[in-house]
Amino acid sequence: MSIVRRAIVLVAAFAILAAHAQTTKSLKPEGDRRWYKGNTHTHTLWSDGDAAPELAVDWYKERDYDFLSITDHNVMLRGEKLFIAGEKTRLTAERLAQLKEKFGDDWVETSEAGGETVMRLKTYEELRKRFEEPGKFILIEGEEITAKAHVNGLNIRDKIPQSKADTTEGVVREHVHAVDEQSRQHNAPMLAHVNHPNWGDYGVPPEDLIAVDTSRFFEVYNGHGGVKNWGDEKLHRVNTDRYWDIVLAVRLAENPENILYGVATDDAHDYFVRGAGHSIPGRGWCMVLAENLEADSIMEAFNRGDFYASSGVLLNAIEWDEKEYRVTIDAEHDVPYKTIFYGTRKGADLSSKPTLDENGVEIPSTPRQYSADIGVVLAESHTNPAVYAFKGDEMYVRAKVVSSKLKADPFKEGDFEMAWTQPAVRR
């Protein structure tokens, strides 16, 4: 065989392998790979949370989380920050006493300043030294970059300043770009995820995320009590599943590489209360399939889409090939599950129109209304594993597993435990 012909054969072989890699995936523990549980959206006294950072970290570690990112608003846990203790602050005398009892007087540093008791907040490095254990628990530095929209930067090395753009699209674009630039500069894997797209004035309409196709992650589930995961009719906002499908369908129709992954977080702020309406820890997390428990490895797995989002349901495996999409549930005894396969078909109507009021006048600063062809239910399954056989006309397929078990301490009453898998893009 000539050198030229051999080169052609090799190129063709690699092309086939590449195409195969794009149409197949097997996410299950094997070899060195295992599932790691972690939360990527957490607040403490460094911004608007009500717990000292050590109390927050301890909460997750005690409950068998493998990794945690503290993402306080526009700050990284570095340098000296003093917090006033008092009955009118989030650090009451009772909470200060609890910290001393749990961590010791030597750990909790207080002093008097201007007639007030202040406590020095622990830094990321101090928290790492106290809590990290190789192979068992790690902290991943982060920041909630907060402006007209909120974006979390994970595994970042330097604080990212908030964007001054006057549109949500501009803010998201600049924040995501800043994380990507830092990743390139430091030659380290990082990611940016768009937070709570339905939350009040800090929401992000689907068309803005469609436009910023460099943004590859968003919160399909956020445990904050006020973020409207189920949508908001008054504000003309769709639920986050519908939102995901809108962005996916329009993006992928333009370029099959423009994927959007869905993460789940708890957005914890409130560590001393329970119940719906509060922003408590533990409501949402991601399960990441990685080769080891190191920050870079976790980020690389996220960026490959090797994870699923959960608010309570656990999965053993997620697999797809040219023929089918298969989800194997780590089922609880006597708990029924329903798996919903969502997708948008090739050639579907992807049109949208402005949202109008009762007089037919466009409502300004309101998300557009999208075709019902987007994000249809392709199939439902009550079996385990749940299997969807591809018909050949799907643009993408993703799955949501819904347990019959109501969620304890839900973000809103009536919320069931769920899990979301990532989309399989069909070529």
- Please write the tens of the pLDDT for every residue from 289-329: 999 999 999 999 999 999 999 999 999 999 999 999 999 99
Query: Among the three residues 120, 144, 167, which one is the final residue of a domain in this structure?
Result: 120
- Look up the domain containing 113 and give its range: 83-120
Q: Is the pLDDT of residue 1 over 70?
A: no
Q: For residue 239, give the amino acid letter.
A: N
Kindly tell me the sign of the dihedral angle through the C-alpha atoms of 228, 231, 234, 235.
positive
Q: Is the pLDDT of residue 195 over 90?
A: yes
- % pLDDT > 70, the chain: 95
Residue 364: inside a domain: yes
pLDDT number for residue 61: 99
Comparing C-alpha atoms, which of 374, 220, 369, 202 is closest to residue 284? 220
Same domain? For 103 and 196 the reply is: no
* Confidence tier at 3 by pLDDT (50, 70, 90): very low
Kindly tell me the sign of the dihedral angle through the C-alpha atoms of 18, 20, 21, 23.
positive
* Confidence tier at 21 by pLDDT (50, 70, 90): very low
Residue 7: inside a domain: no
Same domain? For 116 and 62 the reply is: no
Same domain? For 93 and 33 the reply is: no
3 state SS of 47: coil
Query: Among the three residues 63, 96, 120, which one is the final residue of a domain in this structure?
Result: 120
Residue 196: inside a domain: yes
pLDDT in tens, 127-166: 999 999 999 999 999 999 999 999 999 999 999 999 999 9
Residue 2: inside a domain: no
Same domain? For 71 and 100 the reply is: no
Residues 6+ apart with CB under 8 A from 101: none
Residue 336: inside a domain: yes
Comparing C-alpha atoms, which of 284, 303, 274, 172 is closest to residue 221? 284
Q: Are 126 and 141 in contact (CB under 8 A)?
A: no
Task: State the Cα–Cα distance between residues 37 and 278, nearest whole angstrom.
Answer: 22
pLDDT in tens, 214-225: 999 999 999 999
Q: Is the pLDDT of residue 15 over 50?
A: no
Same domain? For 274 and 335 the reply is: yes
Domain tally, the chain: 2
Mean pLDDT, to the nearest integer, of 401-415?
96
Same domain? For 233 and 304 the reply is: yes
Same domain? For 109 and 58 the reply is: no
Same domain? For 380 and 402 the reply is: yes
Alpha helix positions (H), 24-166: 53-62, 93-103, 124-131
Q: How many angstroms separate the most distant Cα atoms in the chain?
A: 87
**pTM of the predicted structure, to 2 decimals:** 0.94
pLDDT number for residue 202: 84
Q: What is the CA radius of gyration of the chain?
A: 23
Same domain? For 169 and 233 the reply is: yes
Residue 134: inside a domain: yes
Query: Among the three residues 120, 144, 174, which one is the final residue of a domain in this structure?
Result: 120
- Structure tokens belonging to residue 348: 């579907």
- % pLDDT > 90, the chain: 91
Residues 6+ apart with CB under 8 A from 78: 123, 124, 125, 159
Q: Is the pLDDT of residue 30 over 50?
A: yes
Q: Is the pLDDT of residue 6 over 80?
A: no
pLDDT number for residue 13: 37
pLDDT number for residue 11: 37
Same domain? For 40 and 150 the reply is: yes
CATH (domain of 231) = 3.20.20.140
Mean pLDDT, to the nearest integer, of 180-188?
99
Residues 6+ apart with CB under 8 A from 387: 324, 325, 326, 327, 381
Same domain? For 76 and 87 the reply is: no
The whole-chain average pLDDT of the chain stands at 94
Order of strands, sheet of 191-194, starting from the edge strand that comes earlier in the sequence: 142-146, 150-154, 191-194, 217-222, 261-265
User: HSE on the CB side for 74, CA within 13 Å?
Assistant: 9
Same domain? For 92 and 161 the reply is: no
Residue 3: inside a domain: no
